[in-house]
């Protein structure tokens, strides 16, 4: 007799991690938008000094980190809620707002975890097709709001297309969102966003009582393996996030690394600048070769390869580029080390030429 199981789980795919090359294979893993730089020395030695405390639970209130974030972001400490990565906080946000069957709206394609998190929370995902350029269709998203809508994600810049929403469009959108619906601006890639017209999550948080912002230490700050992210949310929402969090989910090592990263932001900024520069160089090279690449404000580029996606991905793998392919839609390639970035342009150009000769 099989063990009882939650029937709705059968319809939910497990989250799929970016593919990793085999051991010893000479290839670049560019499938998870990770930071290619090693952790800062100061962060590594800070965590090493903390190792002797891992027989104890972390301080769940994380006073040092919360204090550092509050002063860095100029927000009240009570508005900050931490989680084991911003993906965990995204799940908490759904648990904190949606009653069973309530709706969670987001653009599609966007961050793959959104529909999974919504289903797991017992909510109904409402996936609003993106526009032809891979950007959020905010008009259609506003039209998708019903009385069951509990939460709306805006992913800015969007994963996997790298597009941004501008301030004026988000203001127009907010005018149509009922005041009881929470709008979450997911800014996992905010540090790579140089678009002056882009909506800025914290500005919206300050100007609207129903806006929360999601940030992570995984991408620009290079702490993906330590799992730490946070929301800046209205106080009542932040309090509910603390209720829905897994107790002690954020380790003392992660807290320490995050504090040290905030103290060394200047050093991290140099790396971020290099990644932005590398993205621009890559996009220029692809544009120059007449390749259809969507202008990205994140640490990855998106190739809308459509039906050729699997073929192109196979060619890229043969050239040592392990990207993230979405069958029938496109391929997302993370910006990597200088060596990887050099390899990407020529690999993409020849893979697309190869695919078009077979089309
Ligand atoms: C848009 C977006 N939000 C959130 C996350 C979660 O990042 P983490 O849980 O590592 O903070 C990701 C990771 O890929 C992402 O792309």
Give residue 357's pLDDT.
67
Which atom of ligand 1 is found nearest the CA of 86?
A: 11
pLDDT digits (tens, 9 = 90+) for 295-318: 999 999 999 999 999 999 999 999
Q: Closest residue (by CA) to atom 3 of ligand 1?
A: 188
Q: Does the beta carbon of 156 sit less than 6 angstroms from any atom of ligand 1?
A: no
- Mean predicted confidence (pLDDT) in 35-39: 94
Give residue 18's pLDDT.
82
pLDDT digits (tens, 9 = 90+) for 54-90: 999 999 999 999 999 999 999 999 999 999 999 999 9
Domain 41-263 has CATH 2.10.69.10: no
Kindly state the percentage of the chain with pLDDT values over 90.
90
pLDDT digits (tens, 9 = 90+) for 82-120: 999 999 999 999 999 999 999 999 999 999 999 999 999
What is the distance in A from the centroid of ligand 1 to the CA of 86? 6
Task: Just give the CATH number of 18-39+266-358.
Answer: 3.90.1150.10
Q: Does the beta carbon of 86 sit less than 6 angstroms from any atom of ligand 1?
A: yes
Give residue 358's pLDDT.
63
What is the distance in A from the centroid of ligand 1 to the CA of 321? 21
Q: How confident is the model at residue 6 (pLDDT cuts 50, 70, 90)?
A: confident
Give residue 359's pLDDT.
60
Whether 178 contacts 186, CB under 8 Å: no
Which atom of ligand 1 is found nearest the CA of 88?
A: 9
Residue ranges of domains in the chain: 18-39+266-358, 41-263
- Mean predicted confidence (pLDDT) in 255-270: 97
């Amino acid at each position: 007799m099989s063990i009882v199981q939650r029937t709705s789980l059968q319809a939910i795919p497990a989250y799929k991690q970016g593919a990793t090359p085999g051991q010893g294979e000479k290839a670049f893993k560019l499938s998870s938008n990770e930071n290619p730089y090693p952790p800062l020395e100061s962060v590594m030695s800070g965590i090493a000094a903390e190792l002797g405390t891992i027989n104890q639970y972390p301080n769940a209130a994380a006073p040092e980190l919360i204090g550092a974030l509050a002063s860095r972001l100029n927000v009240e400490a009570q508005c900050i809620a931490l989680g084991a990565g911003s993906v965990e906080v995204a799940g908490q946000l759904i648990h904190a707002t949606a009653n069973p069957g309530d709706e969670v709206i987001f653009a599609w394609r966007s961050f793959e975890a959104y529909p999974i998190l919504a289903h797991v929370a017992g909510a109904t995902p409402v996936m609003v097709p993106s526009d032809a350029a891979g950007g959020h269709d905010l008009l259609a998203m506003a039209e998708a709001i019903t009385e069951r809508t509990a939460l709306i994600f805006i992913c800015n810049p969007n994963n996997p297309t790298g597009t941004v929403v501008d301030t004026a469009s988000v203001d127009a959108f907010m005018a149509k969102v009922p005041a009881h619906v929470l709008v979450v601006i997911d800014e996992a890639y905010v540090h790579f966003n140089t678009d002056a017209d882009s909506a800025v999550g914290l500005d919206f948080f300050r100007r609207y009582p129903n806006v929360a912002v999601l940030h992570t230490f995984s991408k620009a700050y290079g702490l993906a393996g330590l799992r730490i992210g946070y929301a800046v949310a209205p106080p009542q929402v932040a309090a509910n996030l603390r209720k829905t969090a897994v107790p002690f989910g954020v380790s003392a090592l992660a807290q320490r690394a995050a504090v040290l990263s905030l103290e060394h932001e200047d050093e991290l900024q140099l790396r971020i600048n290099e990644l932005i520069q590398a993205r621009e160089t890559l996009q220029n090279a692809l544009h120059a070769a007449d390749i259809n690449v969507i202008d990205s404000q994140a640490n990855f580029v998106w190739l809308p390869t459509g039906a050729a996606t699997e073929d192109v991905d196979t060619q890229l793998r043969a050239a040592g580029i392990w990207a993230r392919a979405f069958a029938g839609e496109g391929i997302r390639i993370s910006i990597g080390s200088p060596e990887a970035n050099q390899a990407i342009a020529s690999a993409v150009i020849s893979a697309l030429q190869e695919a078009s000769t077979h089309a």
